[in-house]
Amino acid sequence: MSDDDYIYDEATGEWRPASEVAAEKVAQNAVHDAAGNVLADGDSVVLIKDLKVKGAGQTLKQGTVIRSIRLTDNPEEIDCRHESIRGLVLRTEFVRKR
């Protein structure tokens, strides 16, 4: 794709640069935390409220730091590990980027 390529945007009814349309698609698919910060693989997050973990019989407290998150196909969920819990999936609405 060169800088001279244009794509017809059906939503606005205009011809727009392809690079601009591609940048908007990336921004729409970005994963955001509770504060609106963009999350990426390997980021550390902090829990913003106490969470009861189903099946583990324990509660993760507010302020707990979760390191090395991984993004999933669902933009509302992240995959992470905690010292005592493997295979933990958290909703992005309960975390804040550290």
pLDDT digits (tens, 9 = 90+) for 53-94: 888 888 999 999 999 999 998 989 999 988 888 889 999 999
Query: Are residues 47 and 91 part of one domain?
Result: yes
pLDDT category at 22 given cuts 50, 70, 90 is confident
Query: Are residues 49 and 6 part of one domain?
Result: no
The rounded distance, in Å, linking the Cα atoms of 66 and 79 is 10
Query: Are residues 40 and 61 part of one domain?
Result: yes
Query: Are residues 42 and 1 part of one domain?
Result: no
Token pair listed for 48: 């913003």
Could you tell me which residues are beta bridge partners of residue 32?
38
User: Pairing between strand 6-9 and 88-91?
Assistant: unpaired
Query: Are residues 63 and 15 part of one domain?
Result: no
- The range of the structural domain enclosing residue 49 comes to 33-97
- For the chain, list the strands marked E by DSSP: 6-9, 14-17, 31-32, 38-39, 45-47, 51-53, 58-60, 65-66, 70-71, 77-80, 88-91, 95-97
Query: Are residues 76 and 39 part of one domain?
Result: yes
Residue 12 has pLDDT above 90, yes or no: no
- CATH number where 56 lies: 2.30.30.40
Considering its fold, how many domains does the chain have in total? 2
Query: Are residues 50 and 11 part of one domain?
Result: no
